[in-house]
Structure 1
Amino acid sequence: MLLFLPLLALLLPVAVPQQADEAVSFTDCTDGYEWDHQKQHCRDINECDTIQDACKGAMKCFNHYGGYLCLPPSASIISQEVAPDTARPRETSPRSSGCPQGYSRDEEGQCVDEDECELDVHNCQPSQQCVNTAGGYDCQCPEGYQKLGTECIDVDECRFHRCQHRCVNSPGSYTCQCKSGFTVGDDNHSCVDVDECSMGAPCQQNCFNTFGSFMCRCGRGFELGADGQTCQDIDECSYSNYLCHYQCVNEPGSFSCVCPKGYQLLGTRICQDVNECETGQHQCTEGQYCTNVYGGFRCAPRDHCQEPYVQVSDNRCLCRSSDAACEDKPASIVFRYMSITSERSIPSDIFQIQATSIYPGAYNTFRIKAGNEQGEFYIRQLNNISAMLVLAKQVTGPQEFVLDLEMVTVNPLMSYQSSSVLRLTIDVGAYSF
């Protein structure tokens, strides 16, 4: 067993066996040994136990085969246990075969080499290998060890290793180790990159191998978490209120836009009004006609006329001058329907009024006769025959305005004055689109 103590190390030789040709009794042991009657061999005496104050001062007593040493407390001893043969009792008489040392006679009387290794009559240390030679034997150290005196000590191959990254010495050998992200190559010395991605790297989505490591990356719509491995969904809807016309719906790795009832998605984010009158998605009866508005439809009666007015077309009622009941009433009433978006910018031109009949010498004036109690609209006359209805205040829907837009015609040459009304129904949608 090897003992390693810090700072100071001494290499101690083993005890020298007694010569075989000395004639002594079986119980005669070399100095520092005593006869063990039970085991019938010479046993080393531990002088550190048997001699009181064997070492003086701060010196420490170290027992050794056949004696003891006084060394500083920081000293260390590298030694091997002595093979039993080195402490054997001496033989009672010398061997006389007439053959050279290391040889013996066979049955035919020939001198043949003795295999001391097989006969176990060598003094090689347990750490050494006995190799038989002609007339003797040789104590050799195993691979990875070198001989120092009678001992075999480990060779530190790491002092002159060829490892690319790191060398780790071991008894009789050494191993090459690599840094994290690398593995030892086929030559047992070089370090080659490990492709962690092909070996099940803990990336949730995408893995990219790098020299000595790897990186995790996420697909579109995801971001890398704090652990550098997992991917978290990006809530695109929280980044902007303008991604969608109406409403943004977050989805894993993406988002989608939805539109309110009465609208359909145009492309990916724009909401477009559905014209239910054209698509047939309305419930108007035969006595009604369908008028599209933002986000829905309106069923208007085909006959708007009430006495003394008579219907002359789907949206026009006439009060005849021959009827006395029409004397103080507008000569005609025309019905129109339109729709505007909510929160429309102001001022905004929304509807143009145009005279259908022009008389020489006559001039026309336009005004809002009814339905504008809160002053949301005003009339801007363009010329003698037309005017523009202007939105003066921002309005929000859903709500409805019914305006009577009157055109008064005066002809001073003929002392003639008449009026006509355009009854305009304005439907304000619920949204700004």
Structure 2
Amino acid sequence: MDSETEQCVDVDECTLGAHDCGPMYQCKNTQGSFRCVPKRCEDNQVLDPGTGECKSVNCPPGYRPRDGRCEDVDECREKANACPFYEECVNTPGSFRCQEQGNVCSNGYYMDRESGFCLDIDECQRGTHTCASIADCINLPGMYRCKCAAGFEFNEYTMRCEDIDECIKFSGHACSLQADCVNSIGSYQCICKPGFSLAADNRSCDDINECELGIAKCQQKCINSPGSYQCICDRGYQLGIDEATCEDIDECKIWAKSGNELCMGKCINTPGSFLCTCPEGYQVMSDGITCKDIDECSENSNLCDIDQICINLLGSFKCERIECPRNYIPDRTFKNRCLKKPGHCENMLLERCKKLPIHISWQHIAIPKQVNISLHRTSVTLFSMKGPPNQDSSMQFELRLVSAKQGSDSVTPAIRANFLLQKGEDHNSAIIALRDSLDGPQEVHLELTLRLTTNGQFNGKYVANLLVFVSQYRPQTQHSRLHRIRRL
């Protein structure tokens, strides 16, 4: 209490020394009390715990006082140019150091300390390149390149020379079509296929002419072909199983096996060919195969008597004397025809006399046995007969089989059904045709009768006797197939 003012006055404990703050604290008076505040020293001072006084702190170089202790100075952070720009600043306790840092230049360059510029690294000169002995090193700005030897190419990723697979790279064009491409280190090789040899350009293949070089194994003829050759044989020969030797073609045996006859007579095989002999009465034609009938009647007019007819047969001939029936006389114009005898009707009825043939003729035809009758040729014309050219007259033809004389019992005789009677192109004509092949030898007698009527009245009759001589030989086969064999 203030005695003068009689008011309550604050007691300053700090000034009076009535506080209990220790030496490390400073007393701060407050209204009605006090508080202890920790003492603070300057950065270059440190508080003495015993006396509570601030004492100066002396730090060595590279350190500075801080909070009563020495703290390291980070020169790298506080000094912008502590080191040259191409060196790295590294802080150390109480100091720092400058050291060479990682390359600040682009790959392939280095820092020149004198000029401070990035200069090209000459890998070729330094020997730091990866080019092998198969390549030359060529320095380039910031890099280098390996100039690879022929057959190699530079890989920019591995920086090495790698083998070129020409066979794949050129996709089948490295070698010709007649060769196989084989890759090798730094090159490739063209291997020609059999029958070819490597050309001077080492990629093309030349055909080997085995025929000219004499290395072909052909017995007779050789034909060269690209990469190979072919053996062929002369006419009458065929290649053996080895396709090199030639074997004789037995034409006779081949045709016999096929069921056909190569020769009408006897077939004789010869080396590279064959011979045909003809039966008696035939002669060999210029083709050496076909047998031609000898027409003895044409070649010799004195074979038969003067009153006989010479009939040429296949392989022979026959002298035939025409015996005219009763009341008929030989026709002086045609030796094969008989005419009704003048006045012969005096001793018979007129009606009966009219029905007798006006003339009777004999026709002779020679054919081979087994004539080819097929779907393509359904009949073979043998004989045609034509009556008088009278438009007012009608004509009736009739055919009958008189006889069939076989040469032996094994021969099947002809019958009427083997023959056709057909109308000819003109109204007054008829045709006799063979509809079935006949066996031989045999002699067939056919009689063709023509009855003539005018205005419904009988006007006459004509008779033609057709004598068909069937040979013991077949028709000769068409030899187009044989001709092909001979041309081989």
TM-score (structure 1 length as normaliser): 0.44
TM-score (structure 2 length as normaliser): 0.40
Larger Rg: 2
